[in-house]
Structure 1
Amino acid sequence: MKKKLITAAASVLMLSSILTACGGNNKNSASPSPSQSPSATATESASPSDSPSPAAVERFDVSLRHIQIGELQKFRKAILDEVVKKSEEEVPGANFEMDAVEDSFNRWTKLPAEMAAGNPPKIFDLFGGPGDGQKFARANKLLDLTPILAELGLTDKFTDYSTFVVDGKVYGLPIGAGSEGWFYNAELLESNGIAVPKTLEELEAAFETLKGKGITPIAMGSQAAWVPFMLLNTLIPRYAGEDIQAGVANGSRKMTEPEVVAALAKYEEWVKKGYFTKGELGIDYAGQTNEFIAGKAGFLFDGTWRISTFNADGVGGALNGKVGYFAMPAVTGGKGDQTAVNYNQNNGYGFSADVNDNEKAAIKAFIKNLYTEEYQIRGFKEDGVLPSMKVDAAQLSSDNPVMTQVLATNAAAGKVFPHFDSLVPGTVNGEFEKQIQNLIAGKSSPQKAAEEIQKAMDAELAAMK
């Protein structure tokens, strides 16, 4: 018998406390609707008897940068392709030029360089927060979406887009939401006599058992530092409290607090005990997923967007029905709410401020077609992406056992907390990532890493005064 469906209603209610209302005035001139080009509008206003034959619509290109690359992202890419096709059909002459770029390279190298040079794509993958979206908005590089959202009736349809807001105006839109936690290979654990861990001590005991049998405890690819950062982003709040990231960002708390250093020391301990994939600094994000899929590791700390990988038609279909999920266990003596979960909706799309009327019409059509209840629900059901928009809670149910565990975990959480890199400037995030890799390589200590990150944060706070 199928497991009883579990809805996300509780999760939606839990997250209602983070709703953000945004408004603002548009300084740009009005543009034609997504279904009309300027020439089409003029033609329709003329008398049928006086109108000449419609002139051929001249093609115009709209560059679109996305990060949906490879088999792991195939469901999201399929939705994007559908949206592009609809938008091209609605806007005469529009031709979307798709440009696929790896996530980290786009975020940290390519897009910043294009912004500095003044030639970003017209539509591009964008991360919210002071290091990305808000920084570009303050530099007048991003299109103010506030009037477009009002025109399309979308202003109040999102659960939270605050990391894309500057001075009450909206400059980016999150495509979905996600939590981060532990995926585990149930078959592998059972065959080695390991029960699903409920405490940090039980989790570490499981690591030790797997290692003793020649099995990698935690699949990890740390070539890009944001990957191990996910684990530390939850481990640190377990020790120091769920408000630690926000506190460090506003200067009320410090990375050098004993609890933060203790969390970094715990991570270093796991590195030294060999719990992570050997040679992790040379392995990328896809590599760690593939190691887990191959049954070579017992645990994988990742975002809930990874769920679709383990569907019957996913890349990891061999593990379908054999994967479970749980949140980071409580830390004995840890501060704050030990049920709190990471919850983010900071990744989405931004749009260049340098657009003409035709390009703006294409952007408007893209937003109208992508940000719908239909695609929010499809993203949830097909790809495990939690909604970033307010949708019918009755639609957010699943007979996928992994998703039901995620929904139950989120519903049971007393609080949520954001990812560190959505709250701090890019220089601070960059220093954190550098120190993570130094810690893994044995080139730094927990205390030294904490001091260097805090030094970067202090410099940014001083510059803001």
Structure 2
Amino acid sequence: MPEQHPTSPVRTVGGRPRAPLAAVAAASVLVTLAACSGPGSGSPASATPTAVHTAVADTPATLTLFSAAGVETYEQGLADAFQATYPKIKVKLRVEADNNYNTVLPRLLASDSTPDIVQPYDLLGGVKDNLLTNLDAYDEAYGWSDKVPASALAPGRVSNGVSGSGSLYQAGGSAGPLVGVFYNKELAAKVGMKTVPASISELEAVMAKANTSGITPIVASNQDGLIGHLYNLLLGDYMGAQALSDIVHHKPGATLDTPEAVKATKTLQKWIKAGYFASDVNALNQEASYGQFTGGKGLFFFQGSWITQTLDKNFKGEYGVFPMPPAEKGGKQAGMTSNTLAFSIAARSKNKDAAGLFLDFLTTSEAAKVAVDNGYAALASGASDAAEPSLSGTLTEQIQTGYAAIASDNGFDGWLQNSAPAVNTKLTQQLQLLVSGKVEPTAMVKTLQTTYADALKAG
């Protein structure tokens, strides 16, 4: 799961442009896909189709979807919903154990018995070895770039061996976790927080009031570097989602060593020095932080919606969540997510056009409902505008509106930890040093950038 990383017309609401995408309520547990591919060989020239056909709904076909066992129920739900809409096209799952999926997938993609639809983790490897279909023609035919937030499609784009831009190789709808600000409802009421903070300064004002009231503002664990969730949210706020994603996607010239990254780091340092974290945060692990939050030991918890199943065991109804507020009021929101409704079509697929219809189906409200039923926030095109984040409503509604707010600002980005394994290790170390007062923000950012650059050079 993410905690283990270290893996259109517009209307204006509240000062921010809102795209006409409707969020479907998110349920409370995130399923994790264990999927990774490696090198393959021998794929055909049809990896880049020159023409596509969208009028295929009445043509009988059978699609094979290669699924990891851990998401079999979810992907079977997608298959069933698709078949209910397009009964002449069958979707059969080929299920592989999670720990074998990564090994088996590249061999299958290079074989004559390839599945039609897959979710490769190593997208760059699949593109390099011509194992995946270039989806640009399908994108144009179905209008996916108009239906789905650009930041949700970006991880599926590849250009010159770099992800994040260029031709589309992985597409579908938009569904994933909300990483944001969980709050204790009782403590929020005590400090008078009646609305979602609209900026970092408003969030700071709430934390300052909590601190003077004897309430620890932030629950976190940093023995395992999970203050990194908060740090990544701050980086997205100050750098912007695109600049942060450029680093994660290894875009040439992308750098962390910027004044904006330093400002994000200084903000975190300011909160540390103000006593907004427990004094022993460097000694706390993830499980202990869960206990502290559900035990009423702090107001805020910067985490992802995958934690709700754990929190609900003894804290259900006692907490809520809202998206990380932007750096400035009216600014764009940003947050990390992973798109679970994004799939690729095998280059050797004999049913590319039917598979393209399946990917288009993933942009619909029917597919979004399946995602919701399996624990994700999800967006569907062609519905009414999403509501503004608020402290009212159910937890699933709060996750829904938070996810939609980030999507409408094209604010989805990745985890800095995922830019390179060495960065993951170094970030945990640097966050611990920042907490203990042994590194300054400028030096920390330079160290992380050097680690990143060295990792890219090493390949």
Same fold (TM over 0.5): yes
Letter in 2 for 1:218: V
Contact map agreement 2:64 2:92 (CA 8 A) in 1:
yes
Shift in alpha-carbon separation, 1:401–1:357, aligned structure 2, 3 A: same
Q: 2:324 matched to which residue of 1?
A: 327
Structure 1 residue 26, shift from structure 2 partner = 0.7
Contact preservation (8 Å) 2:81, 2:367: no
With over 3 angstroms needed to count, the CA separation of the structure-2 counterparts of 1:380 and 1:341, relative to structure 1, is farther
Q: How does 1:47-446 map to 2 (within 5 A)?
A: 62-65=65-68, 80-86=75-81, 90=87, 95-98=92-95, 101=98, 111=102, 122=115, 123-125=117-119, 132-134=122-124, 136-148=126-138, 156-160=146-150, 161-166=153-158, 169-173=167-171, 174-176=173-175, 180-191=179-190, 193=191, 195=193, 199-205=202-208, 208=211, 212=214, 217-220=218-221, 223=224, 228-238=227-237, 244-245=243-244, 254-257=255-258, 259-267=260-268, 275=277, 278=281, 282-283=285-286, 292-293=293-294, 295-303=296-304, 305=305, 315=312, 318-320=315-317, 322-325=319-322, 327-328=324-325, 330=327, 339-343=331-335, 346-348=338-340, 349-351=342-344, 353=346, 355-357=348-350, 363-364=355-356, 366-367=358-359, 369-376=361-368, 379=371, 385-387=377-379, 389-393=380-384, 400=393, 403=397, 407=401, 417-421=411-415, 428-442=419-433, 445=439, 446=441
Cα shift at 1:172: 0.9
- Pairwise CA distance, 1:372: 1.6
Using the size of structure 2 for normalisation, the TM-score is 0.61
Matched residues, percent identical? Answer: 16
Aligned residues of 2:193 and 2:206 also touching (Cα < 8 A): no
Instruction: Using the TM superposition, give the Cα deviation of residue 301 of structure 1 relative to its aligned residue in structure 2, in angstroms.
Output: 1.5
Q: What is the CA deviation profile of residues 311-335 of structure 1, one whole-angstrom value per residue up to 9, with x for unaligned ones?
A: xxx94695437525363474xxxxx
Q: Displacement, 1:438?
A: 0.9
Distance 2:143 2:259 in 1: 48
Aligned-residue offset at 1:392: 1.4
Aligned equivalents of 1:369, 1:31: Cα separation in 2: 12
> Scaled by the length of structure 1, what TM-score is found?
0.60
Q: Over residues 157-187 of structure 1, what are the superposed CA-to-partner deviations in whole Å (9 max), with x where a residue is unaligned?
A: 3232233223653211253266643221121
Aligned equivalents of 1:308, 1:9: Cα separation in 2 = 32
CA contact 1:268–1:439 (8 Å) conserved in 2: no
Structure 2: distance between partners of 1:345 and 1:429: 17
Between the aligned partners of 2:303 and 2:48, the Cα distance in structure 1 is 39
The one-letter amino acid of 1:181's match is G
Whether contact under 8 Å (2:238, 2:261) holds in the other structure is yes
Q: Distance in 1 between matches of 2:354 and 2:174?
A: 18
The answer (yes or no) to whether the contact 1:35–1:365 under 8 Å persists in 2 is no
CA distance in 2, matches of 1:16, 1:93: 33
Residue 184 of structure 1: SS of its match in structure 2?
strand
Q: Provide closer, same or farther for how the CA distance between residues 14 and 406 of structure 1 changes in structure 2, counting only shifts above 3 A.
A: farther
Once superposed, what is the RMSD of the aligned Cα atoms? Answer: 5.5
SS at match of 2:445: helix
Count of aligned pairs: 392
Determine which of 26, 29, 32 is the counterpart of 2:49: 26
Considering only CA atoms, is the larger Rg found in Structure 1 or Structure 2? 1
Further displaced range: 404-413 or 267-276: 404-413
Distance across 2 between alignment mates of 1:218 and 1:235:
16
Q: Alpha carbons of 1:392 and 1:307: their partners in 2 closer, same or farther (altered >3 Å)?
A: farther
Residue aligned with 1:140, SS: coil
Alignment deviations for residues 361-381 of structure 1 (CA, whole Å, 9 cap, x no partner): 884564355432233367569
Residues 239 and 421 from structure 1, CA distance in 2 versus in 1: closer, same or farther, beyond 3 angstroms? Answer: closer
Query: One-letter code of the match for 1:82?
Result: G
Residue 347 of structure 1 and its aligned partner are, at CA, apart by 1.8
Structure 1 gaps, min length 5? 1-7, 19-23, 41-59, 69-76, 331-335
Kept in 2: contact 1:91–1:362 (CA 8 A):
no
Corresponding letter in the other structure for 1:185: N
